């Protein structure tokens, strides 16, 4: 009887062990399933992250393209504005834009050593030419005066039409002597192109404390003196 009880007890223990083993197997299976699910979620997360990176790169590329287009549009707008403010007859800068350019040149000159000369130019006798030979002849003279200035000045020197027969030129990194020699060449070209025509020029070198108004006023005063001390033509 005792042996039978031991045998029954052994069978119960074995059954329990089998049940425990089955439970362990089921837990391992559940763990594997959970791990597989987690790996699947991790893969999905990686895919989403990759998609987000791709979208981010696309957005950055589009933003860079938009900035490039905006910069190009601004440059075109500035070019259009500049062209709109050119003097229609001579191609010189108009007064409003020209004053802005002159002020900018003065600031650059101060930062770079302070050398700058303003030349105030008057086309002598333009009204007489208009009256005697017609406005077409006067217009041709004005265009050729600006053409002569473009020929003998540097490409970055500023030329502004400030009145019917008056121009202001600004020569950076130049002294008055060099500016005078330039305008002697310009005057010679004008006289060869239009016999009997001439220009008068007043020069003003930049002073450290000069405002735009002060520099142009000194140039205007120098022009007045140059015109009234100019020997009569023979």
For residues 6 and 111, the model is more confident at: 111
| The pLDDT value given to residue 77 | 45
Indicate the pTM of the whole model: 0.66
For residues 37 and 214, the model is more confident at: 214
41-51 exposure pattern, b = at least 16 Cβ within 10 A, e = fewer: eeeeeeeeeee
148-176 exposure pattern, b = at least 16 Cβ within 10 A, e = fewer: bbbebbeeebbbbbbeebbbbbbbbebee
Q: What is the pLDDT of residues 58-109, one digit of tens each?
A: 878 877 776 776 565 555 545 444 555 899 999 999 999 999 999 999 999 9
Q: What is the pLDDT of residues 32-63, one digit of tens each?
A: 878 877 888 888 888 888 888 888 888 788 77
Supply the DSSP string of 85-122, one letter for each residue. TB-TTT-PBPHHHHHHHHHHHHHHHHHTTS-EEEEEEE
| The pLDDT value given to residue 233 | 63
């Amino acid at each position: 009887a005792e042996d039978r009880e031991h045998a029954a007890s052994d069978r119960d223990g074995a059954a329990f062990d089998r049940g425990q083993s089955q439970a362990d197997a089921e837990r391992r299976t559940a763990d594997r399933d959970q791990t597989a699910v987690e790996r699947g979620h991790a893969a999905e997360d990686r895919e989403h992250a990759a998609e987000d990176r791709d979208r981010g790169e696309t957005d950055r590329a589009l933003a860079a393209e938009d900035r490039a287009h905006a910069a190009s549009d601004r440059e075109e707008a500035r070019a259009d504005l500049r062209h709109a403010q050119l003097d229609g007859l001579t191609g010189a800068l108009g007064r409003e834009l020209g004053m802005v350019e002159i002020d900018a040149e003065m600031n650059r000159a101060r930062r770079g050593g302070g050398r700058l000369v303003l030349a105030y130019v008057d086309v002598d006798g333009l009204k007489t030419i208009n009256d005697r030979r017609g406005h077409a002849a006067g217009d041709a003279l004005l265009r050729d005066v600006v053409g002569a200035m473009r020929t003998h000045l540097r490409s970055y020197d500023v030329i502004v039409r400030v009145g019917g027969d008056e121009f202001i030129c600004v020569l950076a990194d130049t002294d008055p002597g060099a500016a005078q020699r330039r305008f002697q060449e310009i005057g010679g070209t004008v006289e060869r192109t239009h016999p009997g025509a001439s220009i008068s020029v007043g020069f003003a070198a930049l002073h450290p404390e000069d405002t735009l108004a002060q520099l142009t006023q000194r140039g205007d005063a120098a022009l007045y003196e140059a015109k009234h001390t100019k020997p009569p033509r023979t």
